[in-house]
Amino acid sequence: MAEVHTLSRCVIKPSQPENRQEKQHDQVLHLTPWDLRLIPIEYIQYGILFSKPPDATNDAIISFINQLKTSLSIALGHFYPLAGRLNIFRHHEATTPFVTISLTCNNEGAEFIHAVTTRKFTTSEIIESFIVPPLVQLFFPLNKVKNHEGNSQPLLAIQVTELADGVFLGCSLNHVIGDGFSFWHFINCWSEISRTGNLKVANPPVLDRYFFGSLTSPIHLPLMDVEDIIKVRDNFDLPSLEEGVFHFSAQTIAKLKAKANTEMNTNNISSLQALLAHVWRSITIARSLEQHQVTSFYLILGCRPRLNHPLPVTYFGSAILVTDPTKLTAGELVEGSLGSTASMLNHVVASMTATKIQNFIEKWPETVSFSNLGRCTPCDLVSEGSHRFDIYWNDFGLGKPIAVRSGIANKFDGAVTIYPSPQMGGITLEICLSPSVLMKLIENHDFMDTVAHF
């Protein structure tokens, strides 16, 4: 018997807010290089866990589910591209065949699923374990669906799963349509509507796509078919993986930051850079790499504030790029100082200038490269997410979330997801590793002494 049972499934279509009266049905949004680079990979999957009131009746839960559906419809009225579908056009008649991909805002809707665990699965099994229970993967819809499938699959799917003493709200969003910043902006607005009953939101999204001056749309992809790029993602096998969740307090992070800056006689190293340097070293030890083996760290950065004319924080779309790798041998990393490693991460972040970003995006149609998670080796780490995401203020009517977790999408050995901690000023890292390496990391007393327990 399946451990998660679907009680109901429906399509939620957007309501029509006042400020959308001038918008035309079937409006087409052309996609930017930021968006198109993500075609081969899978949807974004984040979910938040809530405690269920001890006296909650079945009628109360049904009322809450209906409230979520109503507020989701209103939220989709503001974020109406999420109710659309991708259009993939194959131009075989051209002298040089090409493909164009766009987003049609046709109001086909988002999927909404109400589910329940078939055994007494509790919130404590999630929040009291360093290792994420495999069952959590079943709390997300559209598992293993890739972004290019947004021409037939919904661009947004929600699954509300009842636990014995809680509710898990799992969301899958097509990564071509938005990045993590856009994901949490949508969740923030939806929770605001659900909590207050307001039809308007405090920070409405900016939906027009941003193209640098020299770019024209739609962008021509020099391909016979979109399947030509899907092979980029499919051409490797994923090993057995587990995820560990580690909380770091504000006090611990402050100590790491002070240590790193003191060692380098600077004040430029950030809290996150110091923490990631510490984690990189600890994981390298757990991996038992040979001293000569090279290990690389890639950071996925948000580009909105990095441009000469910064994009608004409410820009709805993808605006992320990966840094050049920071490379060290395992020996250099383990034997070197925290400050020297953190300083290298700081330098690679500083190198992501507005000019560098603009040059990459403007030249992308000439070179056309796609996100390829398969290039990462079991020696590497890739970080994504942000400790600045507004996660723990998303009250839909059950109070604030007590935990955040991600789904199975885009997971690989060395994936590090960054969240704010439930405790003010802290940072939570969700780290994906082979089971044996993850266990060695947990058994490393030097590392675990820096991990908060609450």
Between the alpha carbon of residue 105 and those of residues 13, 39, 110, 151, the distances in Å are: 11, 18, 12, 12
Domain boundary among 189, 213, 234: 234
Q: Are residues 131 and 85 in the same domain?
A: yes
Active-site pick, 148, 175, 247, 387 = 175
Q: Are residues 173 and 287 in the same domain?
A: no
Q: 94-98: long-range contacts (C-beta < 8 A, 24 or more apart)?
A: 96/222, 97/222, 97/223, 97/224, 98/220, 98/221, 98/222, 98/223
Domain boundary among 216, 234, 252: 234
Q: Are residues 314 and 439 in the same domain?
A: yes
Is residue 397 assigned to a domain?
no
pLDDT for the residue 242: 97
Is residue 362 assigned to a domain?
yes
Q: Are residues 277 and 194 in the same domain?
A: no
Q: Are residues 253 and 147 in the same domain?
A: no
Q: Are residues 194 and 82 in the same domain?
A: yes
Is residue 403 assigned to a domain?
no
Question: Is there a contact between 300 and 321 (Cβ–Cβ < 8 Å)?
Answer: yes
Residue 130: alpha-carbon gap to chain centroid? 20
Q: Are residues 32 and 119 in the same domain?
A: yes
pLDDT for the residue 80: 96
Is residue 424 assigned to a domain?
yes
Is residue 188 assigned to a domain?
yes
pLDDT for the residue 409: 94
Q: Which distant-in-sequence residues (6+ apart) come within 8 Å of 300 by Cβ? A: 320, 321, 322, 323, 382, 383, 384
Taking only the tens of pLDDT, the chain with its 454 residues reads 579 999 999 999 999 765 555 455 679 999 999 999 999 999 999 999 999 998 889 999 999 999 999 999 999 999 999 999 999 998 877 778 889 999 999 999 999 999 999 999 999 999 999 999 999 999 999 999 999 999 999 999 999 999 999 999 999 999 999 999 999 999 999 999 999 999 999 999 999 999 987 788 899 988 777 777 765 445 445 668 999 999 999 999 999 999 999 999 999 999 999 999 999 999 999 999 999 999 999 999 999 999 999 999 999 999 999 999 999 999 999 999 999 999 999 999 999 999 999 999 999 998 888 887 656 788 999 999 999 999 999 999 999 999 999 999 999 999 999 999 999 999 999 999 999 999 999 999 999 999 998 6
Domain count for the chain, please give it: 2
Determine whether 208 is an active site residue: no
Determine whether 92 is an active site residue: no
Is residue 259 assigned to a domain?
yes
Is residue 400 assigned to a domain?
no
CATH code, 39: 3.30.559.10
Q: Are residues 247 and 139 in the same domain?
A: no
What range does the domain containing 221 cover? 4-234
Q: Are residues 219 and 186 in the same domain?
A: yes
Domain boundary among 215, 234, 253: 234
Is residue 453 assigned to a domain?
no
pLDDT for the residue 235: 45
Query: In 278-314, which positions are buried (b, 16+ CB within 10 angstroms) versus exposed (e)?
Result: bbbbbbbbbbebeeebebbbbbbbbbbebbeeebeeb
Q: Are residues 294 and 363 in the same domain?
A: yes
Q: Are residues 162 and 218 in the same domain?
A: yes
Q: Are residues 249 and 163 in the same domain?
A: no
Give the dihedral of Cα atoms 27, 33, 38, 39; nearest 10 deg. Answer: 60
